[in-house]
Chains A and B, each alone.
Chain A
Amino acid sequence: MSSSLGVASCSRLGEEVASLELVGSKPDLERLLRLCAAVSKGPLPRACGELLAASEGLACPRIEARCAPGRMHCDLAAALRCAVDGPQAEEPGPDEDSWRMSGPLTTEGGSWSLRGGSLEGQADVLLELTPPAGSGLRRAFDWLPQTPLPGEPRLAGAGAAAHLRWRPRGGIDLTARSGEPSMADRLYGLRNELFSQAVLDGSLEAVLYPPRQGGEFPGLAAALGVRVPSAAVAAMERYLDDVQRQWPFTRQPYTASTAPSANDAEPARRGTCLVGLRVLPELAPCYVLDDDALVLGWNRDVLERALAVADVTATATVAASATEQASPLLASGELARLDFALWELADRRLAAARQRRPGLSYPLRDLRVSLDGATTGSRGEVRLRLRLGGLSDASPPAGSAPAETAAAAAGGGR
C-alpha cells in the first residue's frame, strides 16, 4: 500500500521527526479501522480497509505497525505485526489508552496523534496536533481554539449539522498579515479595520445547516464578537462602502424581527443585506448586530435561522427529532458539535440538486469536541477531546446511502 497514511515526515533540520505508527489493542484498533473504512472510497478509508484486512490476518491481542522517521512513503499495512516485544505487547492498565496512532502532519514537520480506549456506544478519543515550525500551516494553527467561549451559544444550534464556538489562538485579525496588501486584499478590502483586533474581540461562533429542500447550498452563519458594538457597525458599514466601490452590489437595510417568543420590548436588530451578487448559489449575505456580536448569514433565510427568528422546526431541516433529543445542542465549554444525521441529510440534498448521489457515510451519530487540559503546550500543540457518539458497526459502503426519506423530504424530521 502507498496511502495517505503512508506519508512520513521530512522535517526541517532540528525539528523532531514524527514517525507514522499505530499500536494497541487489536479489537479496538480493528473497530476504529472498520469505522474509518466505511466512510467513503477515498484514499484514507481505503488505507484503513487495507490495514483492517492485514490486522484480521493476525492472531494476537495487540498489534503494531511503524515506519521509519523521514520516510516519504510507507506501507503501513505491510509493516503490521503482532506486538511481541516491549511494553507495547502488554495489556494497558485501567487508566491507560488501549491504542494509539500518530504521524507527521506535513512534509515540513508537525505531528498528529490519536489515542483512546474501547470504541463502543460513546467513546472519547484524544487528538493532539503539533504545528510544524515556520511553515504556512502554522498560520492555520492560529485558527485552532485557544479557549472555549463562556456562556450560552448565541446562534441557534437546533437543526445545525455543525455548530462551533471558540476563541482562535491567533485571534481574528486579517489586518495583521505582514507584507504588501495582496490583490485579494485590495479586491475584497481584507485589510479593512473591520477585520482587526481593534474591532473584533476574537470570539467566533458558526453554524452550518443542511440546504433547504430543493436547495443547492447549505446555510452558513457566523457570529463574530466585537469590542464596541456601535464601532463595529460603523466599521462594517464603512467596509461595505469600500467594497461597494469595487463591487457593484445593492445594499438593502435589514431589520431582524425578534424571535416569536421574545419579549416585545426587545429592540429590533438592524443590519444590511447585499443583493445581486450571484457569485455562489444562494449567496446574498446579510449581517445584523446582535448585542456584542456581528452575526452574518449566507442569506437572509440562513441569518434568521441562526438568530432563531425563523421557525427552524417548521422547515425542511429537521423537526425535534428523536436524534436531536438524544443529541443535545452544543454544551457549555464545548468547542464544536457535528450532527452526522443532519450531515447525511445535507449530503442527500446537495447530491440531489446535482443529479448525483452522496459519496460519504457517517458511522457516528455525532462528534463533540472540547479542549483537553491545558490549551496549548510548549511547542504550540493543541489537545482536543473528541467524543464519538452513537458508535455503531460500520455503515453500509459509501454510495449506498438511502434516498431521503419522505418524512425528511417533507421537512418533518427523520
Chain B
Amino acid sequence: MSRLDDALRDALRREAPPEGFAERVMARIQAPQEAAGGWAKWLNAFRRPQLRWATALAAVALAVGTAEVRSEMQRRAEGERARDQVMLALRITGGKLQMTREMVRRIGYARREQ
C-alpha cells in the first residue's frame, strides 16, 4: 500500500451532507404529491365502483344527446335550403306570369283597334 493510496483515501473520505439534508429531500418528495392532491382526490372519486356505472351512463347519454342535436340541426338546415329553393321558384314563376299577362293584354288591345 503506497503513501499515495493512503493520502487519496484520506483526501476522499466521506463527508457529512449539510444539516437538514434528509428533511429537504423529504420535503421535495412531498411537494409534488400535495400539489397534485386536489386533482387526485377528484379523479379517485370516479374510480369508485358505484360511480363507474353512473359515469358510463352519463357518457352514453351525452353521446346520444349530442348525436340527436346534430341530426336535428342537419334536418333544420335541409328544410331551410328547400324553402329557399321553393321561394326562388315562386319568384321566377310569378315574373313569367306577369310577362304573359302583359303580352295577352297587348294582343287584346291590338285586336280591338283593328
Does chain A bind chain B? no
- Interfacial residues, chain B to chain A (CB-CB below 8 A): none
